[in-house]
A and B are shown apart, each in its own frame.
Chain A
Amino acid sequence: MRKYSLSIGIIFLLFGFLSQSCTQEAKNKSNTSSEKEQVNNTETQEPPIAYKMPSPVELFMFLKSNEIEYKPNSVSPVENITKYYTNASKAINFGIYASDLAYCTVFGMYQETFLYFSTTRTLATDLGFTSGFDELMVERINANLYNNDSLFQITNDSYADACNYLEESGKKDVLALILAGSWIESVHIIIQSIDTFSNESPIVIRLADQRFLLENLVNFFKSIDNNISTDKILDKLFDLQASFDLLYDNADNINMTKAQYDEITEKVEKIRTELIN
C-alpha cells in the first residue's frame, strides 16, 4: 500500500513538472506555428527581422577619440540602486548603469569601473541572470583593475553576454527595457559632453545619428510581446522619435538646428530623470 502511495506521489510530482514543461512546449509550439505561418507568408511577404544597435562602448570610444573629457556628474549615482524595487525599474537602471560602466571603463576611471560593475552585477542577480556578471568576471576585473585595455574587453564581454543570454532565453521584454535605459543614458552622456552647440561639431553630428539607433530600438519594442512597463517606455520613445524625425527634413548641410537640439535635449533629460528616479 505504501509502495502504491509512493508511486502515485511520484506520478503527481512528475505530472506537476510535466504540465509545466508541456505548457511551455505548447506555448513554444504555438509560437513556432505562428512564426512558421509568418515565414510561410514571407514567401510573398517580409521575413522576420532582428533589430540591432551598436553598444554604448562605441559611442564613448568616439567621444574619447574626439578628446572629450570625462564628466563625473554625468553618471547616475550608485546610491540610487536602493530606489529600484520593481523588475522593470531594475532592468531599465541595469541598462543605465551598464552604460555608465562602459563610460567609466573607456575613460580609464578604475575605481568607478569597479563600483559600476558591482552595481550592475547586483541588479543582474536581482533580475535572475548572471551571464556576463558571474564570479569569473569579478575575478577578471580584480586581476585587471589597473589595466585599461583588459577592463575595456571585460566590460564589453559582460554587456554582450548579458544581451545574448536575454535574447536567446526569450526574455526580450527585459532586454528591451535594458536597451532603452542604456541608450537613453548614452544619449544623455553625449549631451553632457557638448559644451557649446555647433551644427558642424562631430559630437552634435553623432547626436543626430542617434535617430537611426532610436529607429531600431523602437522597432525592437514593436517586435516583442509588450506589457505595461514596455508600453510606458515605448510611449516616451515615440515622443522623442517625433523630435528626431524632424531632422530628416533638414537641408543636406544641416545636421541639427539649435531649436531641434534644445527640443531633443529637453526630452532626453526629462525621460532620463524619470527613469533614474
Chain B
Amino acid sequence: MKNYKYIIALLISCLFILPFNKVQAQKCAKKNYCSKENLGDYDYRSQSHYGQLSSGESQKVEIVVYANQAYRFLVCPDPKIGTVEYKIFSLKKRPKKVVQDIYEKEVNVYKQALNGEFEYDENGNKILLGTKVINDTIWRRKTVEEEKLIFDSQNNEFKPPYWETKTTKTGMLVIETMVEDSDEPKMGCVNVLVGRKTYKVKNK
C-alpha cells in the first residue's frame, strides 16, 4: 500500500515537473537580463539569440551584417550561472569546388561521322562500336573559413558593457559566448542581443 502511494506521488510529480521544465526552456526570449539603459535606440528583433547554457559550455551565433548599418552587441546571462565572456570575430568564407570522388565508369562508344554527329542503323538505333572506361568525377562544396578576432569582453573592463560597430560592407560575424566552469554546474539563459540601426553615410 505504501509503495502504491509512492508510485502515485511519483507519477503526479512527473506530470507537473516535466511540462514546467519545457515551459521554462521556452522563456529565455521573454527574459530581460540586459539593463534597458544599455540598449539605446537599436532594434534587437532581427538576429538576437536566446539560448540556455550550463557552466563550462560555450556557443557560437553566426550573423549577417548589412553595409551602412550601426550595430550594438550585448551578451546578458541569467546571473545565477556566473560570469559569461564573449568574443566577436569577423568571418570570411570562401567556397571551393573540390573533388569528392572519382569513379571509373564503363560507357558505350557509338559510331560518329566526321562532324561529330551519331550515325544510325536501318532501325534508327545508334551503331555500337564497343565500350570504354571513363572517369566520372563527383564534386562537393568545401568552405574555407577565416575568423579574425575583433572584440574580446575580457579586454573591455571599465568600458560600456556592449560593443558597437558601423559597417561599410555586408559581411558575417560570429559571437562566441563562454560560461565559466563551476564545481556546482548551473543552467540558465544567455541572451545574445544584436541591435541594428541605419546611419547616414556622410558624403565626402
Residues of A that sit less than 8 Å from B by CB: 11, 14-15, 17-18, 21-22, 24-25, 39, 42, 46-55, 57-58, 61-62, 65, 156-157, 159-160, 164-165, 167-169, 205-206, 209, 212-213, 215-216, 219, 238, 241-242, 245, 248
Contact = CB atoms under 8 A, between A and B. Distances in A.
Interface of B: 7-8, 11-12, 14-15, 18-19, 22, 25-29, 43, 45-47, 49-51, 57-64, 66-67, 93-95, 97, 141, 143, 170-172, 176, 194, 196, 198
B58 A47 contact: yes
Given A24-B18, A47-B176, A160-B46, A168 B26 contact: yes
A213 B64 contact: yes
Contacts, number: 114
A206 B60 CA distance: 26
Nearest to B56: A39
A217 to B, nearest CB: 10
A58 B66 contact: yes
Contacts of B7: 11
B198 A50 contact: no
B29 A50 contact: no
A245 B95 contact: yes
Contacts of A62: 66
B11 A18 contact: yes
A206 B64 CA distance: 12
Contact of B61 (A46, A50, A242, A248): A50
Looking at chain A's contact residues, is the secondary structure mostly helix, strand, loop, or mixed? helix
A52 B47 contact: yes
A134 to B, nearest CB: 14
A18 B198 CA distance: 51
B64 to A, nearest CB: 5
9 contacts: A11-B8, A14-B12, A22-B14, A25-B18, A54-B46, A205-B67, A216-B62, A216-B64, A248-B94
A168 B25 contact: yes
Contacts of A24: 18, 22
B185 to A, nearest CB: 11
Instruction: Count chain B CB atoms within 10 A of each CB in A65, A157, A164, A241 and give the residue with the most.
Output: A164
B26 A18 contact: no
A241 B141 contact: yes
Contacts of B8: 11, 14
Contact of B60 (A47, A53, A55, A167): A47
A55 B46 contact: yes
A187 to B, nearest CB: 13
A117 B45 CA distance: 18
